[in-house]
Amino acid sequence: MLAPPRLNPDRLRRVDRWVGVPLCFALTIVARLTSMVRPRRAERADPPRNILLIELAEMGTTVLACPAVHRLRQSYPDCRIFFLLFKHIDESVKVLNMVPDDRVMTIDVSNAWTIVRDTARLMAHARRQRIDTVINLEVFARFSTILAYLSGARTRVGFHPFTQPGQYIGHLFTHNVNYSPHIHTWQSLVALVKALETPPGSLPDGKRPAAARDECVVPTIARTAEASDRIRRLIAAERPAAAGKRLIAINPNASKLIAIRKWPIDRYADLIARLLADSGNACVLTGLPSEQDDARYILDRVKSDRLVDLTGKTTLRELIDLFNVVDVLVTNDSGPAHFAALTGAHVVVFFGPETPVLYRPLTDRCTVMYSDFACSPCVSAYNQRRSVCTDHQCLTHIPVDHVYGTVTRILQGAAR
């Protein structure tokens, strides 16, 4: 997959606080002055026609947004839907065919200049496309809130912190929705769409029952013979001995934004060694080019000609094709878990600092590894997904024996 810019997550959080807060405050003053001339919230009979969804940073959240997009299309079949995200993850929207490629807008976060430049371009492009409605899919993120306002859309929907201390994002939304940490993320995103369907009333907006299970509509990315053959040839070229074996994908990495989500790398090495003790198995390592150090550690620990290293060697589309030929993916809580949920792979996913209540992949073919520590989850939207923890025992407590037994049972079931 393509590598993102080398951004320091803590630096981004500091910028979001020290730059984002005063900008949100200043824009709130502008918005209130503007509302004296133009009503803050127009009650109109016309449905939205050009809707911009903002989800900037997390690839996996684009999958979790699929039910919300489906709801939009059901409720407003004539509307045009646009998507705004960071440039280095725009492939996540394109492979899902959520919107046409020419309706994907991006912000290049390589440096301060590209951010300012692309923000200005967004302002112009949104007006050319007559964007009338923005739905901010991010929770308490100041940059996406600012972009929603700068788009010029008359209707702006987003999660508002209300009385939550330390989460100030100004008052830039016309529809302020309460964020609930007690329902799955896909349900929260559908709630944003439903807020458009409810008349103005008492805060918070969008007082509706949570989306039911049958509203969780996600695409299936089907396996094709051509793509499968291409992936198998790639694996055979890397490791001829892996050809024709049962394939287990291993993703030992997680986004730098929440690096604490990683099951220990030595545990992954031990798990792979045990899986490869069965001569019928082959394991495939995946990840970004920036994550090759972890792959090299595993390769040095596990000397096997059936261990294939595809770290940094696949596009997102090729990674999805890989998931369609493996029997199992073992992964940390990260984007690959959510994309694998759209394929035929069985997903074994580790949770600890975050909770499966909010982020479990949207598939029945999923086994969650979760130790239920009293301190878990320790990262959330309320702390900018940061934790003071330096010893994530919620993950180290999950033993290799348990994971190995789980994967083996899944493989045995797949063989029947």
Q: Give the pair of three-digit tokens for residue 193.
A: 């769409």
**Binning pLDDT at 50, 70 and 90, where does residue 254 land?**
confident
> In this model, does residue 173 exceed pLDDT 90?
yes
Is the CB of residue 284 less than 8 Å from the CB of residue 248? yes
For the chain, helix (H) and strand (E) counts, in that order, are 16, 12
**CA pair distance 277, 165, nearest whole angstrom:** 53
**CA pair distance 337, 55, nearest whole angstrom:** 18
First to last CA, the chain: 33
Domains in the chain, ordered, with CATH?
9-215 (3.40.50.2000), 225-415 (3.40.50.2000)
CA atoms within 13 A on the CB side of 181: 14
Q: What is the pLDDT of residues 64-80, one digit of tens each?
A: 999 999 999 999 999 99
Strands 175-178 and 307-309: unpaired
Q: What is the dihedral of CA 271, 62, 138, 49, to 10 degrees?
A: -170
Q: What is the pLDDT of residue 185?
A: 97
Burial label for 129, CB within 10 Å (0-12, 13-18, 19+), is: middle
Q: Is 288 helix (H, G, I), strand (E, B) or coil?
A: coil
Instruction: Find tokens 């919107």 and name the residue.
Output: 99
Phi-psi region of 5 (alpha: psi -120 to 50; beta: other; left: phi over 0): beta
Q: What is the CA radius of gyration of the chain?
A: 22
Q: Please list, residue by residue across 374-395, b when 16 or more beta carbons sit within 10 angstroms of its beta carbon and e when fewer do.
A: eebbbbbbeebbbbeeeebebb
Mean pLDDT of the chain: 92
Nearest to 6 by CA among 100, 88, 75, 129: 88
Q: Give the pair of three-digit tokens for residue 339.
A: 């994309």
Q: What is the pLDDT of residue 376?
A: 94
**Binning pLDDT at 50, 70 and 90, where does residue 415 land?**
low
- Which whole-number Å values give the CA distances from 27 to 21, 132, 407, in the listed order? 10, 19, 52
**What residue type is 403 in one-letter code?**
V
**CA pair distance 78, 361, nearest whole angstrom:** 30
Q: What is the pLDDT of residue 328?
A: 98
Q: What is the pLDDT of residue 257?
A: 66
pTM as predicted: 0.94
Q: Give the pair of three-digit tokens for residue 341.
A: 């949920």
In Å, how far from its chain's centre is CA 352?
Answer: 17
Nearest to 64 by CA among 381, 365, 369, 358: 358
